[in-house]
Amino acid sequence: MKRRSAIKSVLVSAAGIGMVPAAASCKTPAVAKNTSTDKLLGNINHSACRWCYRDMSLEQLTEEAKEIGLKSLELLSPNEWDTVISRGLTCAISNGSPLGIVNGFNNVKNHEQLYKDYEAIIPMAADKGIEQIICFSGNRNGMSNETGLEMCAIGLDKVVKMAEKYNVKIVMELLNSKVNHADYMCDHTEWGVALAKKLGSPNFKLLYDIYHMQIMEGDVIATIRKHHEYISHYHTGGVPGRNEINESQELNYKAIIKAIKDTGFNGFVAQEFIPTRQNMMESLREGVQICDI
């Protein structure tokens, strides 16, 4: 199951721009629900990506997330925002343009549509108190990194200036092009940081996906320490496989989250792994507790 299938399913409603999340695959036996009442420490703002739990209604997922101690569910469409907000959570980062991952800011042919999409969603997000909206570089399609950087900067300039007026951040996600998103351009931290420097705005930041960047470049903790000022959001996921972030995979999430916290980061860390347990909330609870330091 790939996240790209979630991005490709798109709804455009009168209320705004939406994306339908992809279905999760849950084939292993169920496990008993953790009934622990241990409270989270409160040092980390926890979120989870809605698309990983499509088999649950958003209403049920919101209630379960609240019980675990999450403050957010994210990558929601505008027509989903009120479901979580009315139940006491926020959307730490919203979906953006229906053009999705492949057709991004590195292609000048997309700029007009992208501007229209963000022109619509930015004031809506600001009105709901949603502070971040995701964006993507797009695929290379034979384009050099240097040209792609220039095209992204040109296309994002007007969008970011609009975001500044509404105090909203436009956040580009770093994705791997080795396993999940072949040919995606913003697949290394240094390229994303170069774009952030070129735009020179506090309202453009990066989404550092730990799973994706472990696959592409490793050296996760050192990279976070070096470039944390350009990062406003983090995603988790077990490597390899993008499943639970426990001892079944290679990353030491306790150490990674401590490194993030030590930079002074006060944004959100979101679970974006595909649960393998039939009881998906058991996996989510475990992931949140691992990241709660």
For the stretch 259-281, pLDDT in tens is 999 999 999 999 999 999 999 99
pLDDT digits (tens, 9 = 90+) for 83-97: 999 999 999 999 999
- Dist CA 222 CA 219 (whole Å): 6
β-strand pairing of 169-173 with 132-135: parallel
Write the CB contacts of 251 (distance below 8 Å, at least 6 apart in sequence): 210, 211, 214, 220, 238, 239, 245
Distance of CA 239 to the CA centre of its chain: 17
> What is the pTM for the complete model shown?
0.89
Q: 67 or 2: which carries more pLDDT confidence?
A: 67
- Tens of pLDDT along 192-204? 999 999 999 999 9
Mean pLDDT score of the chain, rounded to an integer?
91
Phi, psi of 84 (to 5 degrees): -85, -35
**pLDDT above 90: residue 286:** yes
Burial category of 165 from C-beta neighbours within 10 Å (exposed 0-12, middle 13-18, buried 19 and up): exposed
Q: Can you tell me the distance from the alpha carbon of 5 to that of 24, in angstroms, rounded to the nearest whole number?
A: 11
Instruction: Say whether the peptide bond before residue 240 is cis (omega within 30 degrees of 0).
Output: yes
Predicted confidence (pLDDT) per residue in 7-49, tens digit: 444 333 333 344 433 333 333 333 334 444 468 999 999 999 9
- CA 255 remoteness from chain centre: 20
Residue type, 165: K
Backbone angles phi, psi at 94, to 5 degrees: -95, 155
| Measured distance CA(224)–CA(69) in Å, rounded | 25
The mean pLDDT of 216-245, rounded to a whole number, is 98
How would residue 108 be classed by pLDDT, with cut points 50, 70 and 90?
A: very high
**What pLDDT shows up at residue 9?**
46
Domain parsing of the chain, residue ranges = 3-291
- Give me the amino acid identity at 178: K
Residue 2 — pLDDT band, cuts 50, 70, 90? low
Q: Which CATH superfamily is domain 3-291 in?
A: Divalent-metal-dependent TIM barrel enzymes (3.20.20.150)
Check pLDDT > 80 for residue 177. yes
